[in-house]
Amino acid sequence: MASTSPGYAITIRVDGPPSAQPVAEITAAITAAGASITALDVVESFIDRVTIDVSCDAHDSEHAERITAAISENPLLTVRKVSDRTFLLHLGGKIEVTSKVPLKTRDDLSRAYTPGVARISQAIAADPSDARRLTIKRNTVAVVTDGSAVLGLGNIGPAAALPVMEGKAALFKRFADVDAWPVCLDTQDVDEIVRTVQIIAPVYGGINLEDISAPRCFEVERRLRELLDIPVFHDDQHGTAIVVLAAISNALKFVKKNLADSKIVMSGAGAAGTAVARLLVASGAKHIIGFDKDGLVHETKPGDDVMRTWFVDNCDPGEFRGSLSDAMVGADIFIGVSAPNVLTESDVASMAPGSIVFALANPEPEIDPVIARKYAAVVATGRSDHPNQINNVLAFPGIFRGLLDGRIHKITDKMLVAAANAIADCVSTDQLNANFIVPSVFDPRVVTSVAAAVRASAN
């Protein structure tokens, strides 16, 4: 059975007579339903009735309904209300704008706004570079999406993408003290996206492209990098690639192999897959065999984007023309950024001794990690309920902290590799094991180390 998740947490308010031992009955019902109780409070107590709030984590929405039904089956218990804790957390949004300066007196207003603010505007008009010194530009990032490839939900549009972009902005602030703001565009036309970002760019010190489908994301990023004098970073590509490279580096240390000699099989040659391959190649990988939904990636086709062409040119499978299962025989590393259940148990069993499996499709990976661990020495996923989560939060806060502090205008592969090495180095030799190949996202060293590496690599 799947693990319970705080993403499906609920709070159930239940009434029952004290004589019925409601706490014990509620606990028994929830436990029997396979849920994890996280809190239990008696909120009201009377002679004839006790009101209890019990919070628990479920597997999914259907499981949450079954938990509630299990409590309701007891004729002595009455379910008064069920609250979805994730929806409650999002009520009214997750971010806000707050003033950094006091606005309590007329003097405050005169300096923060008119007439004093006119002097600041005049200074910037005379020297536009002062905008970075005298405005929010020095620490502000636009999180830009068109809603075309949101998480594993697909093309759900800009409004439905907004909660995700809010979350991204909250992570920027929490981990790197970067002020980020969602920019959800009601267009999926490349020209309109590029032009819109170009004309709002004066406010921002950097652009984080998010959840834009391939191959359009490649074109959007390329054109914006040419047009703007601030860094443009597509996190779905480069953030994933950075953390994968960091994790692969440490996994190889653990199994005592090196990247250049490793046979790597990749499932997924889209935005994330191509970016991962680029950093692996930049770090010395020599033998990558890639697959997409159409099978082996080994030749260009009419209409291929520049990134797919790069993949074909740099990840040549040689004479091999077999299936994914064929390629897995003797493979040292599998990296999946594709779709659920594309691997079988026998595929993993056929890999080389000391194999590494990164099944990163989310929420359902390319193979059940429990099965993969029967054969692979190291297994990683994109999920928070398994060890070795490949989480972009390890990368993008520090990347942008370094870019902003270093006043860096362009991003290079050298910077991305340096960031990956910095993340990997946050796991010491004493800490490194099969279930700990990347640091915790809450490790305060990660952001500072990544930011320092980005700044240093720009010189």
Confidence band, pLDDT 50/70/90 cuts, at residue 253: very high
* Domain containing residue 337: 235-459
Confidence band, pLDDT 50/70/90 cuts, at residue 351: very high
Rounded to whole angstroms, the Cα distance separating 227 from 176 reads 26
Residue 223 sits in the same domain as residue 253: no
**% of the chain residues with pLDDT over 90:** 83
Closest CA to 369 of 351, 357, 353, 354: 357
Question: Each residue of 45-54: pLDDT tens digit?
Answer: 999 999 999 9
Rg for the chain (alpha carbons), in Å? 25
Higher-confidence residue of 362 and 447: namely 447
pLDDT at 151: 83
Residue 273 sits in the same domain as residue 148: no
Residue 204 sits in the same domain as residue 279: no
Residue 214 sits in the same domain as residue 281: no
Higher-confidence residue of 301 and 134: namely 134
Residue 218 sits in the same domain as residue 270: no
Residue 218 sits in the same domain as residue 252: no
Please report, for the domain that includes residue 243, its CATH number. 3.40.50.720
Higher-confidence residue of 301 and 208: namely 208
Of 65, 90, 115, the residue that ends a domain is: 90
Number of domains, the chain:
3
Residue 166 sits in the same domain as residue 210: yes
Of 199, 230, 261, the residue that ends a domain is: 230
Question: Each residue of 278-291: pLDDT tens digit?
Answer: 999 999 999 999 99
Asked whether residue 117 is domain-assigned, the answer is no
Asked whether residue 456 is domain-assigned, the answer is yes
pLDDT at 139: 96
pLDDT at 1: 47
Confidence band, pLDDT 50/70/90 cuts, at residue 339: confident
Of 26, 61, 90, the residue that ends a domain is: 90
The whole-number average pLDDT for the span 97-102 is 91
Question: CA geometry: angle at 288 spanning 345 and 423, to 5°?
Answer: 90
pTM score: 0.88
How high is the mean pLDDT of the chain?
93
The whole-number average pLDDT for the span 365-375 is 95
Residue 76 sits in the same domain as residue 160: no
Q: So which residues are the catalytic ones?
A: 113, 168
Residue 251 sits in the same domain as residue 354: yes
The whole-number average pLDDT for the span 84-96 is 92
Please report, for the domain that includes residue 45, its CATH number. 3.30.70.260
pLDDT at 2: 63
Q: To the nearest 10°, report the CA torsion of 409, 414, 416, 422.
A: -120
Question: Each residue of 398-439: pLDDT tens digit?
Answer: 999 999 999 999 999 999 999 999 999 999 999 999 999 999
